[in-house]
Amino acid sequence: MSLKNKKILLGVSGSIAAYKSALLVRLLVKEGAEVKVIMTHAAKDFITPLTLSTLSKNPVLSSFTNGENGEWNNHVELGLWADAMIIAPASANTLAKCANGIVDNLLIASYLSAKCPVFFAPAMDLDMYVHPSTVENLRKLKSFGNEIINASYGELASGLVGEGRLAEPEEVVHQLTKFFSRKETLKGKKVLITAGPTQEPIDPVRFISNHSSGKMGFAIAEAFEMAGAEVVLVSGPVSIPFPNGVKIEKVQSAQQMYEATTKYFLESDIVILSAAVADYTPLHVADKKIKKKEDVFTIEMTKTTDIAATLGKEKKTGQIIVGFALETDNEFENAKGKLERKNFDFIVLNSLQDSGAGFRYDTNKIKIINRAGKVYNFELKTKKEVAMDILETIIKIDS
């Protein structure tokens, strides 16, 4: 897939590597993209706006107002216009401002207004690149869902040799092309995802639930939507923002989640069951708040419908079903047994024994087990990165 007719917003910040932005613009235009350029004032010390304006065939912007007439350069419109935004080179200063929302120029304001994917291509001296401040800012930007095009190894302007060189323009274009190709990977596919906890009512003010935040399921939904799939997300009660471009079905109880998933199951090509569904629910729900009286209080519970097992039995039209197993002991054996019992195509296993994995964290460490017993091991990563690992595994099975 090419970049033909893609709208690319290029941000150029103050770095000696800014001279490479001329070739980057030229390559993007050659690929058929429409390019608009925003420069910081510091970037003008390294390359002229006239050069980038000539190559992009569009005016280069750097201020909130345009010249003597005071016309406003609308950063909101710029952010909404683009199919992708690239900040290349991204200096340490610009990375820090973007990571912390410090809006003192048009480039940062446009970044914060962007609804499209944003790519950062850092460029700076070796010691600046490996400084904990820069490392943390890159980590934060990545956790926000941005793409990082890592700096390359080589001779730097200071004379030092190491990481910090701006990725070559050809590599930046390759990463963009790869991203948009991925966007078409699951076009036409329907994906059903469950996420979050369920709440089982005891009385009008109390319920039984668990610690699930929904972060993992939401990251998966976002990844599949970005890959071009039509996504339905059945979510229990959560306090995090819903991903864009996804159809949302809000539920509370396990029974409601069961009814919502069965409604969409037969028309779905891929089903990912990442929700933490209650195994039991109170047999009787009080219609008034239960008062504190007895020293010992007993709630009679009954099993909820096993959503995963039910869907596994109904799998008749070639759906791929992915289950999740969060374990505390005998992890592999329990997960493998669950995969077989519930007729999954594969299961995602994570253990509460692994530091940084499980509920509420922004990170996770998983193993993926397929029906043949093959195990794919992954290191501790952000949940957004884990979602991409799951997506790529499913694509291999589905292709």
**Three-state DSSP class for 95?**
helix
* Structure tokens that stand for 345 in this block: 């195509």
Contacts of 21 (CB under 8 A, 6+ apart): 10, 12, 37, 47, 52, 88, 89, 169
Measured from the Cβ of residue 323, the count of other Cβ atoms closer than 10 Å reads 26
Q: CATH for 190-398?
A: 3.40.50.10300
Whether the Cβ atoms of residue 110 and residue 9 lie closer than 8 Å to each other: yes
Paired with 7 in beta bridges are 34
pTM of the full predicted structure? 0.66
pLDDT recorded at residue 123: 94
Active site residue 350: no
Marked catalytic residue, from 58, 74, 93, 210: 210
Contacts of 235 (CB under 8 A, 6+ apart): 194, 195, 196, 214, 217, 218, 242, 248, 249, 250, 251, 275
Instruction: Evaluate whether 7-183 and 190-398 have a shared fold.
Output: yes
Contacts of 379 (CB under 8 A, 6+ apart): 365
pLDDT recorded at residue 399: 47
Please identify, in words, the CATH class of the domain defined by 7-183.
alpha beta
pLDDT recorded at residue 72: 75
Residue with tokens 């922004």: 362
In the chain (399 residues long), the average pLDDT of successive 10-residue segments reads 86 95 96 95 96 95 76 82 95 96 94 93 92 95 90 82 89 87 82 97 94 94 89 96 90 97 95 96 93 89 94 82 89 91 92 71 89 90 90 76
- Domain segments of the chain as ranges: 7-183, 190-398
pLDDT recorded at residue 350: 85
